[in-house]
């Protein structure tokens, strides 16, 4: 019964949160956005005390149900494990806690978190990992499906679906997502919740509380016939029958598989407050699959590590824009991102530092950005955390979607009206690239015409050829850094007007 409730709730949460990442229109967010906000790491980064306390209370009261129900990566692993032979037949067995790895990772995580090394934090955190996997691997499929529907809709003159460009936003992030997925699937397939109990820093954090949980599965030794069925069914490998019929509550994720399977009614999920938490006895002999597990974990870590140097080598330019045209169209050279002195972070992030300090790199904002402005950074210090760039579109004045979805407080919620008051950067002109300045055309002013802040003035200039032309100049005080000028500048591949971010955003 308990298991059934858990499975239903977990499935609902998992599907909903995955849809949140897939729905590029951002409509689901209105109803389901809270699911991202109750994730542990985003709540910590957002300093959302209500959620943090609620989650800790939940864990102290009921154990690590968070890991079984709320965490999408945890639920995903249950799904994978269920498909595996071991999971189906129940052939797990107790294994010892790998302390050095578990607490080692946790220490690294805490240090990284306090040092602001969020790229490392994001690499380890489960919610971010799942967001990345969905955004990089699943959402292209989703969007291609959408595009098929859009093509059908177009035939029937319906506007229900519109085509969405599918493009590789960042190769390094894609590789990280792929490696994470492979590692997690392999671990889950082989041994259930290995990731959650040896790597996941959120799981480890919660374990500090779950070992004192008020409600927990308890083995009634008088009823237990030592049939080992619960142990075999335990994908967290935390029930030790031979070692004293004990359960390691630091690793138990409250999946209730043991309870539903006990034929003798020896296992009960009951109030056990105050009774000394069962400490798992350390068996003298190492369990049979210890070596294998260590190898798997080790290789997973190695894979994760290997991905980092691989990134640097495989970094490439953005894919060229593919344009379908007939004979009658001039080719358009795809834009390239210019070198920016300071990265541009979204409106509402208030400063580059605060943005990167809070961002969990879950890619939710990247998923909903309708203008293809946000993409994961390739900068090693901020790897996978988003930044803005304007090769495909610009940060449109009416859009505040990223600020609405960010669960981690990296992008604070703003309204379109507030957006016009913030300056996230400022435009700079590179006159040698400007088509008017270098004599290719007599007039242009496309940047000035499209500046939503009215920050660009066309001023008279006597060109080298003696002609008086009107070239753009930026009124820095008015410029908000939205990138309209950069995106719409006819100079290609590098625009003649580019935006550099501000370290600290301020009001215009």
Return residues touching other proteins (CB under 8 A).
154, 159, 162-163, 321, 323-325, 328-332, 392-393, 396-398, 435, 441-446, 449-450, 488, 490
CB of 163 to other proteins, least distance (A): 7
Beta-carbon contacts of 158 under 8 Å, excluding residues fewer than 6 positions away, are: none
CB of 155 to other proteins, least distance (A): 11
Check residue 380 and report its DSSP letter. G
Q: Torsions phi, psi of 499, nearest 5?
A: -105, 135
Check residue 381 and report its DSSP letter. G
Beta-carbon contacts of 355 under 8 Å, excluding residues fewer than 6 positions away, are: 345, 346, 349, 385, 410, 411
What residues does 462 pair with on adjacent strands?
A: 468
CB of 256 to other proteins, least distance (A): 47
Number of H helices, E strands in the chain: 23, 10
Nearer to other proteins, 154 or 242 (CB): 154
Nearer to other proteins, 132 or 396 (CB): 396
Nearer to other proteins, 251 or 335 (CB): 335
Nearer to other proteins, 242 or 442 (CB): 442
Nearer to other proteins, 153 or 277 (CB): 153
| CA-to-CA separations, 203 to 63, 144, 251, 289, 459, in angstroms, rounded | 11, 35, 8, 22, 60
Sign of the torsion angle spanned by Cα atoms 347, 352, 357, 361: positive
Nearer to other proteins, 100 or 159 (CB): 159
CB of 167 to other proteins, least distance (A): 13
Residue 478: exposure state from Cβ atoms within 10 A (0-12, 13-18, ≥19): middle
CB of 27 to other proteins, least distance (A): 13
Nearer to other proteins, 261 or 438 (CB): 438
Residue 405 near residue 427, CB atoms below 8 Å: no
Nearer to other proteins, 307 or 434 (CB): 434
Tokens standing for 163?
A: 């085509």
Sign of the torsion angle spanned by Cα atoms 198, 199, 201, 203: negative
Beta-carbon contacts of 275 under 8 Å, excluding residues fewer than 6 positions away, are: none
CB of 496 to other proteins, least distance (A): 11
Is the bond into 493 cis (omega within 30 degrees of 0)?
Answer: yes
């Amino acid at each position: 019964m308990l298991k059934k409730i858990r499975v239903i709730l977990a499935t609902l949460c998992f599907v909903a949160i995955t849809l949140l990442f897939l729905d590029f229109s951002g409509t689901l967010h209105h109803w389901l956005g809270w699911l991202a906000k109750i994730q542990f790491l985003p709540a910590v980064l957002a300093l959302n005390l209500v959620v943090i306390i609620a989650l800790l209370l939940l864990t102290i009261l009921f154990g690590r149900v968070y890991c079984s129900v709320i965490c999408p990566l945890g639920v995903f692993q249950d799904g994978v494990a269920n498909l595996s032979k071991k999971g189906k037949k129940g052939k797990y067995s107790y294994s010892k806690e790998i302390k050095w790895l578990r607490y080692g990772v946790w220490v690294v995580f805490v240090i990284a978190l306090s040092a602001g090394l969020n790229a490392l934090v994001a690499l380890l955190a489960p919610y971010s990992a799942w967001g990345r996997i969905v955004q990089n691997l699943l959402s292209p499929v989703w969007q291609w499906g959408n595009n098929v529907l859009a093509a059908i809709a177009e035939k029937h003159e319906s506007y229900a679906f519109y085509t969405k460009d599918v493009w590789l936003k960042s190769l390094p992030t894609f590789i990280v997502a792929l490696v994470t997925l492979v590692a997690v699937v392999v671990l889950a397939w082989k041994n259930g919740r290995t990731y959650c109990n040896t790597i996941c820093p959120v799981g480890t954090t919660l374990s500090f509380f779950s070992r004192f949980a008020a409600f927990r599965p308890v083995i009634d030794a008088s009823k237990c016939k030592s049939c080992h069925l619960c142990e075999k069914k335990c994908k967290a490998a935390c029930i030790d029958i031979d070692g004293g019929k004990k359960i390691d509550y630091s690793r138990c994720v409250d999946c209730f598989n043991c309870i539903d399977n006990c034929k003798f009614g020896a296992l009960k999920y009951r109030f056990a407050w105050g009774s000394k938490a069962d400490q798992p006895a350390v068996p003298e002999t190492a369990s049979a699959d210890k070596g294998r597990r260590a190898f798997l974990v080790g290789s997973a870590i190695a894979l994760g590590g290997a991905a980092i140097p691989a990134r640097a080598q495989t970094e490439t330019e953005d894919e060229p824009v593919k344009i379908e045209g007939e004979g009658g169209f001039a080719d358009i050279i795809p834009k390239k991102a210019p070198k920016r002195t300071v990265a541009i972070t979204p409106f509402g992030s208030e400063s580059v530092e605060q943005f990167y300090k809070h961002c969990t790199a879950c890619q939710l904002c990247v998923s909903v950005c309708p203008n293809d402005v946000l993409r994961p950074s390739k900068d090693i210090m901020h790897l996978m955390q988003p930044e803005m760039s304007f090769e495909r579109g610009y940060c449109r004045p009416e859009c505040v979607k990223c600020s609405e979805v960010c669960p981690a407080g990296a992008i604070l919620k703003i309204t379109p009206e507030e957006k016009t008051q913030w300056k996230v950067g400022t435009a700079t002109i590179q006159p040698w690239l400007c088509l008017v300045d270098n004599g290719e055309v007599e007039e242009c002013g496309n940047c000035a015409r499209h500046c939503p802040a009215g920050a660009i003035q066309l001023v008279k200039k006597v060109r080298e050829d003696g002609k008086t032309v009107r070239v753009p100049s930026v009124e820095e005080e008015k410029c908000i850094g939205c990138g309209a000028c950069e995106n719409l500048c006819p100079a290609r591949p590098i625009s003649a007007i580019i935006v550099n971010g501000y370290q600290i955003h301020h009001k215009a």
